[in-house]
Amino acid sequence: MPSNISKNPTSFTVEPVASVVKEVQKYVLGMEEGLWLGCLAMLSGGHILIEGAPGTGKTLLAKNLTSAMGGEFRRIQMTPDLLPSDIIGMNVYNIGTGSWYVRKGPIFANVVLLDELNRATPRTQAALLEAMQEGQVTIEGSTFEMPKPSFFIATQVPAGGEGTFPLTDVQVDRFAYSARSGMPTVEREMEIMRRADLTDAQKAGKVADPGRIAALMEQAKRVEVSPLVREYILAVVNRVRAMPELRWAPGPRASVWMFRGARALAFLEGREYALPDDVKAVAENVLVHRMRLKAEYYGEREAEPRNLVWRALNEVEVPKE
C-alpha cells in the first residue's frame, strides 16, 4: 500500500462515529483496517467479506462495533445443514390461537456476522441475496424491511477448505468491500493475552444509536463527488478490466461502491467533497474480491489482485482540480 494512503479510523471526526471508534478500541486491539472498513460500511450501507485465520478478532470487532453504535447484533454459524428459513425466518403455526404468524430469522439485526459463509450450501447462500441487494426479505410472500442501518460481515474459510461451497461470483459481487485478517505481531498478541479476561467479561458501551447513524447515512449522500473524481473512478476500474492477467474482471457494482465508499470516507473525515485519495483508499477493498486470475498467473506475486489494483492506481493519471 502506498505510504500516502492511511486506513486508520482515528482520522474520523464526525460524531458519534469518532466516539464509536474510541469506545471500540478500548476492547479491540489492533484491527484498525477492519474497524475503518466497518465504519465505512455502516455509513455507506455496504457489506464486508473477510477471509483469514480463525481467532483473529472478527467476531469481537463486530460485537463491539454493534454495541458502541447501540444496535442489535446477531451471529449466524453457517453449516452445510443450515436451511434458508433458519436465516430469514418462516411461517409458524400457533396451536393456541389456531393462526399462522411470521417468525423472523436472525438476519433482522443491525450487524449480522455470517461466520464461515462458504460452509453453507449454495441454496442457503442465495437466500441472502435479496437482503444484501434490496434491504428487504420476503418470507412466504410477505416482504419485510431490514432495520436501518444494517450490514453483514461475512467470513469465509480459505478456498479449498474441507466441507466448503465456493461463493459464486454473483454472491461475491454483492459484498461492497473485502479484507483479509492476518496474524497479530508478537507484541500485539502478548497484549491480547493480557486483555483476554477483560474482553471476555466486558463489551463496548453504547455511545450512539441506530437512528443517529441512519441520519448520518443520509447526510453522507450529500457529499460532493465531482465529475473529475467520478471519471477517475471509471478510469481505474477500466484499467483493471483491461489487465491480461484477469479472466473475470470487476463489473459496474465496483464503480458504484468505489463512489459510495469514497463519499463515505470524505464525510467521516469531515469534508464536504471527495478527493482522488479517497478513491485510492477504498480501491483495494472494493476491487480485489471481484477479480479472478487466469490459471497461468496463479502463484505469481506481481499478478496478485491487490498488486494489480495498485498497478492500476499508479498508471491512471490523477485528476487535478
Per-residue 3-state assignment (H helix, E strand, C coil) for 203-253: CCCCCCCHHHHHHHHHHHCCCECCHHHHHHHHHHHHHHHCCCCEEECCCHH
What's the rounded Cα separation, in Å, for the pair 24 and 225?
Answer: 30
Low-confidence ranges of the chain (pLDDT < 70): 1-4, 159-162, 198-201, 321
CATH 3.40.50.300 fits 1-220, yes or no: yes
Q: Which overall architecture, per CATH, does domain 221-321 show?
A: Orthogonal Bundle (1.10)
What's the rounded Cα separation, in Å, for the pair 20 and 35?
Answer: 10
pTM across the whole model: 0.90
What's the rounded Cα separation, in Å, for the pair 43 and 261?
Answer: 9
What pLDDT sits at residue 321?
63
Could you state, in order of their start, the residue ranges of all structural domains in the chain?
A: 1-220, 221-321
What's the rounded Cα separation, in Å, for the pair 35 and 37?
Answer: 5
For 22-32, write each residue's pLDDT tens digit. Answer: 999 988 887 88
Residues in contact with 123: Cβ distance below 8 Å, sequence separation at least 6, in sequence order: 84
What's the rounded Cα separation, in Å, for the pair 237 and 239?
Answer: 5
What pLDDT sits at residue 31?
82
- Amino acid at residue number 226: S
For 160-201, write each residue's pLDDT tens digit. Answer: 666 788 888 889 999 999 988 777 778 878 887 877 776 666
What pLDDT sits at residue 4?
59
What's the rounded Cα separation, in Å, for the pair 234 and 197?
Answer: 48
**Length, in residues, of the chain:** 321
What pLDDT sits at residue 37?
94
